[in-house]
Amino acid sequence: MPSNRADKPVPFVPRSNASLLTGQFWPIPLDNGLFAAGVVLGVPSEVTLPQHAGSRRLFVAGLLDWHGPDLPDAHVLEGTALRGCGTAHVTSIELTSAGRGIVGRLVTVPSGLAYLSHRAGPGVQVLINGRPDHAASAEEREQLEVWGTWGLTYVQGLANTSFGATPPACVLDRSK
């Protein structure tokens, strides 16, 4: 994980993305008493989220496909897949970690989630963890979701819904 940023001692609550490094993670308390984990997948640059390259507050956030009774640590999270990812504000780390902030860093960063940069018009790209990967095919334009910006506590809601702590707020019955 090459970086020109120095690892900051953990735990810490980031106030800007200047202290964020790919692979850093934070605990997400769930409504059922368990924990999930969020992960930093990158900060805006000319390569990752080029439309936000100058931002000091945004970053690429991910929800790891893990939950358990104890606070997450790098040992249990290493090799875990992503459940979802999107653009988030650094404040979301403090708000969704019950103030704990960044508590560790993974050696291997999960990858593989593909999204569209936008739905229509020219230049539609497939993004992998927020990084442009290739021009979207017609089939990919039909099948992939569009990259999203997450609200301040979206990752916690996604974790609660994903891991059965809270039922989805709205379930559509399409059988009628």
Nearest to 94 by CA among 26, 23, 8: 26
- 125-155 burial code (b ≥16 CB/10 A, e <16): bbbbbbbeeeebeeebeeebeebeebeeebb
Q: Tell me the mean pLDDT in the region 96-119.
A: 90
Phi, psi of 98 (to 5 degrees): 55, 35
d(Cα 86, Cα 170) in Å, to the nearest integer? 21
- Residue 176, classed as helix, strand or coil, is coil
Segment 109-131 shows an average pLDDT of 87
Choose between 93 and 3: higher pLDDT: 93
Whether pLDDT at 138 is above 50: yes
Per-residue pLDDT averaged across 110-132, rounded?
87
Q: In whole numbers, what is the pLDDT of the chain averaged over residues?
A: 86
Average pLDDT for 129-149 = 90
Q: What pLDDT is attached to residue 172? A: 46
Residue 49 is predicted with a pLDDT of 65
Question: Coil, strand, or helix at residue 87?
Answer: strand
Q: Is the pLDDT of residue 4 over 60?
A: no
Greatest Cα pair distance, the chain, in angstroms, is 56
From 40-54, 111-125, 141-155, the region with the lowest mean pLDDT: 40-54
Span 5-11, mean pLDDT? 73
What is the percent of the chain where pLDDT is above 70? Answer: 85
- Nearest of 145, 87, 88, 85 to residue 119 by alpha carbon: 145
Q: Per-residue pLDDT tens for 16-67? A: 999 999 999 999 999 999 999 999 998 877 766 666 667 788 999 999 999 9
pLDDT of residue 56: 84
Confidence of residue 169 (pLDDT cuts 50, 70, 90): low
> What is the C-alpha separation between 105 and 78, in angstroms, rounded?
9
- CB within 8 A of 34, min separation 6: which ones? 67, 68, 69, 163, 165
